[in-house]
Structure 1
Amino acid sequence: MVLKVYSDNGHFDRVSEAFDYMKSNGIEIDERTCTVHLLALKRADKVQMSLDFLYRMVGIESNMKVSEYSLSVVVDGFCRIGEIKRSRELVEEMIDKGTKPNVVTFNIMLNACAKRWSFGEMDLVMLLMTKEGVGFNTNTYKILIDGFTSSSRVKEAQSLVEEMHDKGLKVEPHLCNLIISSFCRVGCTESACLLFDEMAERNVSQNADTYSAIICGLAKNGEMGKAMEYVREMQDKGIELDGVMFNTLIDGFCEKGMIRKAYDLQLVMEMRGLSADVSVTNKIAIGLCKLNQVTEAKKLLNLMVKRSATTELASFSSLVNIQNEEEGFMNVEAKVYR
């Protein structure tokens, strides 16, 4: 009780003094109370103090059995400040002292490794897991897949999904979506499509985010025909294009020089109450001018003026002016620079 009172009031030095007094006088100390104190130290960013207190708990004169939860609290504190190697060394040290880490302890370290792309350290943590006979749980797989896909180690991420299937673990669509996006990001669109198809075969739901990943990924790689096939498939399932997909498709058509298709898709987008990004609208307008389709370009220009998108208009208004000297259009141009 004394330890908790001191800890709750931020008197951390007094906690250590009281702990030493109780230990030297043979007074029993509740390990759970110590864990609560470790949590308080972590919240206060007192990482070194939490380590010192943990050492007190496992000292020679202490008969306390330190739980894996207390260890995890201190490990988490070190990982939060980027001291991943030190946290692993602490785990190894505590194993020798009789405290066995659990999967939560390892997941804390793996998550820190994934966020910082410390893959060398991640390998060492996983080796230690194997040595201690601690298996992956679903959260472990999520952490690793997220880390691998964010660093384009997509093949390793895909292998982990296969491993989850083999173990009968539930694979959430989110994990496959990450891998599909990562495949597309590195130009492996065929692998992305294969994984998309495999999701249905393995009864993993293909949701709106899944379609967004494959459609946007294909569009960014210039595979517009294939992207539109997935659009039609998605719409057959009652899922509609959102603003991100519309803009990515429009941009993809522009990059391929398919300006008319981009323009038509932009009109559909507007009819559904969505606004195209100024950058893609700008590309369409420039393309229309080059094709001498000035009437359509004027419509886009008027639309952008209504949105007060004047800065971006400067890049193509001169092109439109060259194509058409009509008074009506000059009035629109005047609004842009007024």
Structure 2
Amino acid sequence: MRLPLKPFQLHHSGVTTLRRLSLVAHSSPPLPDPSSPISKTLSLLQSSDPSTWPSNPSLRSLLSSLTPPAVLKVTRQLPNYQDALHFFNHLKASSDLSDSIPLAFQAVLEHAMRENPGSPGKLYELFQLSKDQSTPLSVNAATLLIKCFAQAQMLDEMILVFDAIDEELIHTDVVNLVIAGLLKWGRLDDALKLLDEMFERDSCYPPNSNTVGILFSSILNRNWSGRSVTDEEIHNLVSRFGEHGVSPEPYWLTQIIMRFCRKGECDKAWTLLHEGMNLGSDVEVASCNALLTGLGQHRDFARINLLMKEMKEKGIKPDVVTYGIMIKNLCNFRRLDEALEVLEKMRDGELGVEPDVFIYNTLIDGLCKVGRQEEGLKLIERMRFDSKCEPNTITYNCLIDGFCKAGEIEKGRELFEQMSNEGVKSNVITLNVLLNGMCKHGRVSSAMEFFGSMRGKGVKGNGVTYTILISAFCNANNIDKAMKLFDEMQKNGCSRDAVVYYSLISGLNQAGRMDDATFIVSKMKEAGFGLDIVCYNMLISGFCRKNKLDKAYEMLKDMEKAGMKPDRVTYNTLLSYFCRSGNFTQAHRVMKKMIDDGLTPTVVTYGALIQAYCSNDNINAAMKIFRDMNSSSRVRPNTVIYNMLIDSLCKNDEVEVALSLMDDMKDKGVRPNTTTYNALFKGLQQRNWFEKVLEFMDQMTEQACNPDYVTMEILTEWLSAVGETEKLRKFVQGYQVSASIA
């Protein structure tokens, strides 16, 4: 494997590891027999000068009797690196000892590691010496160098060592070391090139289970520093390993399946698991659980049932987690009765697994979310007596939340007291659930009292707590209290998130305190949060209501600087402002700009213009907008628009046109409401068209459109004046009134 080399540079990282390796590399063997050739050789070497070794016949004789492993032992037991190096050079000069040279060089490396544990540069010098002298590397020597260079981040030098090994000596474990070194420092592509060589059909070093573990432990690690690895690459790698009869260990298989499912790649996860099953790999229940979770999130109940069946066929026994996942999926999709059936089978021993507190909590939470909190409450007793499970904080939090959302705040408080009496510790979630319930049902004062009592017990609020209270006081138009809580939040060390800023800005905007809203916006930006389009629109609307168009335009410019374009709400807000101001020229310009920006006007857009023209007694212009709306846009007029036009037409004594609009409503399937009929009754009263009034009274009855006090005021005055109070009585009782006229 030839990789481009960088200029040689010593790296000082991994010094501690090198020191450890040096200690491991050399361990003193038991002392040999003094009469053995090894002892005699050592004694002779240490008692004579290295310069005399070539001419010493006794040494030559002893060395010729030593095997290569014995030479390794002799070199290792020399007292220091320099003596070992002298001995190695002596062996190099003896042509009849060439077989022992690789092992002697290995011992020299071990001496160098022991004496210079923090200096990989010395090892590199020795490696260069071996290359210059054409000294072949033993596999063990190469392994030592590869480990040391990998730890010191000398990756190019590590590759040089790997390339220097005789191809016949390379085996899978050596290649695994090189791949591990490359992956450790993020050089994924180089590692994959080497892996390709392992995948070759006639490779002398095919991948093994260690290869799989090294690869996936790196690329699936959260601290992975290399380039991102795609799901497709991971899937292909697993498949290629499978072709060599190797599959990821159960832990890594589970991690890969979880990754695929989180990204919505359940098909890949399904294929991967089944490839492992078909290869006869050790597929564990955890991997199946990971896939079941993903399938549940995508409502793939067909494959959930199929996988459960296959698990049974393959002898993979579902555990409590498996059934917990199944119950959670059923609860998430409101199939509570089926979830309860699974629980019954678990309790009866039919499934061989006892339900745990997680399963009960999942069911209780599911029941509470669909308004069946009373059933959830009964499960507490069953979990205690049938399954010997004690309810915990989560159990009570689910129940309290269910009752509070149903408006049963007192029942929530009772459960809170029961929780305390049983020694189940409450937490900030308990606090927030109760506060939210109280605030949503208008009990803000009680919420503040409860908050104070909980703080007295040591349960401090968090950002969510303050957001609930601030929103509640804003909705109650108690902005001063909301601002006080906002300041208190920071003093108590609760970080302010974007939600609490939005809540306060919304409250200030509703209260018309736009200067305060602008101040909070500046604080929000200082905290590093940006406004979204909803918040900008809210502020623009607030400034328009206060007739501060210049401030509204400032917000518009700020929004565009932040990279956001005005949407329909923005344009409708500005258009409504100009309509209310009677500036129809500018209103039409806004509408044109809206269309130019690719936004279709909405019923609100047309409604603002029509209402403005009607308010200015320009019914002809309003009708023109209405006709344009019908002919050139896909926006259908709604009841509100018809009501504005009918009311304005009747006030201008154009009752015939108003009646034609009633026919138009019927043709277009737009249902009139009480306001529609009230406007028409006023117009008909002016004309004294009594028969028409009775006709429309019958329509109201047929359409179950109930009269209001305005209807009754109009009809009582008119029908009483003409002596038809009986018809009014029948109309109120829901009977037809136009059958006969006195």
Same fold (TM over 0.5): yes
CA distance in 1, matches of 2:540, 2:534: 10
Which of residues 245, 250, 254 in structure 1 aligns to 2:570? 245
- What are the residue-to-residue correspondences of 1:82-121 with 2, within 5 Å? 82-121=407-446
CA contact (8 A) 1:218 1:226 kept: yes
Cα drift, residue 166 of structure 1: 4.2
TM-score by length of 2: 0.36
Cα drift, residue 275 of structure 1: 0.6
Which of residues 70, 75, 84 in structure 1 aligns to 2:400? 75
Deviations 1:169-219 (A, max 9, x none): 443334323322221222222211222222223332123222112101111
Stretch deviating more after TM superposition (125-134 or 230-239) = 230-239
Which of residues 274, 277, 298 in structure 1 aligns to 2:600? 274
Larger radius of gyration: 2
The residue number in structure 2 matching 1:9 is 341
CA distance in 2, matches of 1:98, 1:288: 69
CA distance in 2, matches of 1:317, 1:30: 70
Cα drift, residue 159 of structure 1: 3.3
- Answer yes or no: is 1:152 the counterpart of 2:477: yes
SS in 2 for 1:251: helix
CA distance in 2, matches of 1:38, 1:192: 42
CA contact (8 A) 1:85 1:121 kept: no
Deviations 1:221-248 (A, max 9, x none): 3322321222233233332221112111
Stretch deviating more after TM superposition (34-43 or 260-269) = 34-43
Distance 1:65 1:247, change over 3 A: same
The residue number in structure 2 matching 1:212 is 537
- What are the residue-to-residue correspondences of 1:1-338 with 2, within 5 Å? 8-9=340-341, 31-32=357-358, 35=361, 38-39=364-365, 42=368, 45-51=371-377, 54=380, 66-166=391-491, 169-272=494-597, 273-275=599-601, 277-285=605-613, 300=625, 303-306=628-631, 307=633, 309=637, 311=642
Deviations 1:40-70 (A, max 9, x none): 65467554454455468789xx997542122
Give the number of aligned pairs: 309
Distance 1:266 1:38, change over 3 A: closer
CA distance in 2, matches of 1:79, 1:115: 9
For 1:8, give the aligned amino acid: L
CA distance in 2, matches of 1:297, 1:117: 42
SS in 2 for 1:9: helix
Deviations 1:260-308 (A, max 9, x none): 3223222222322331522212145458886xxx9x8897465334246
Q: CA RMSD in A?
A: 4.3
CA contact (8 A) 1:42 1:74 kept: yes
CA contact (8 A) 1:286 1:319 kept: no
CA contact (8 A) 2:614 2:645 kept: no
For 2:601, give the aligned amino acid: S
CA distance in 2, matches of 1:175, 1:131: 24
The residue number in structure 1 matching 2:98 is none
CA contact (8 A) 1:289 1:297 kept: no
SS in 1 for 2:573: helix
CA distance in 1, matches of 2:588, 2:417: 62
TM-score by length of 1: 0.72
Cα drift, residue 32 of structure 1: 4.8
CA contact (8 A) 1:219 1:249 kept: yes
For 1:9, give the aligned amino acid: E
CA distance in 1, matches of 2:627, 2:388: 80
For 2:507, give the aligned amino acid: S
Structure 2 portions without partners, runs of 5+: 1-318, 328-337, 349-353, 655-659, 665-742
Distance 1:130 1:56, change over 3 A: farther
CA contact (8 A) 1:313 1:336 kept: no
CA distance in 2, matches of 1:251, 1:107: 39
Structure 1 portions without partners, runs of 5+: 19-27, 323-333
CA distance in 2, matches of 1:241, 1:263: 16
CA distance in 1, matches of 2:448, 2:542: 30
CA contact (8 A) 2:463 2:497 kept: no
Identity of aligned residues (%): 23
SS in 1 for 2:570: helix
CA distance in 2, matches of 1:335, 1:7: 54
Deviations 1:293-325 (A, max 9, x none): x9x8897465334246483555678999x9xxx
The residue number in structure 2 matching 1:21 is none
Deviations 1:80-100 (A, max 9, x none): 321112212321233133122
SS in 2 for 1:134: coil
Distance 1:9 1:301, change over 3 A: closer
Which gives a bigger RCO, structure 1 or 2 (Cα 8 Å, sep 6+)?
1
CA distance in 2, matches of 1:107, 1:42: 17
Cα drift, residue 168 of structure 1: 5.4
Distance 1:57 1:302, change over 3 A: closer
Cα drift, residue 105 of structure 1: 1.6
Distance 1:219 1:35, change over 3 A: same
CA distance in 2, matches of 1:279, 1:215: 19
Stretch deviating more after TM superposition (183-192 or 310-319) = 310-319
CA contact (8 A) 2:582 2:612 kept: no
Distance 1:44 1:202, change over 3 A: closer
CA contact (8 A) 1:78 1:87 kept: yes
CA distance in 2, matches of 1:243, 1:43: 35
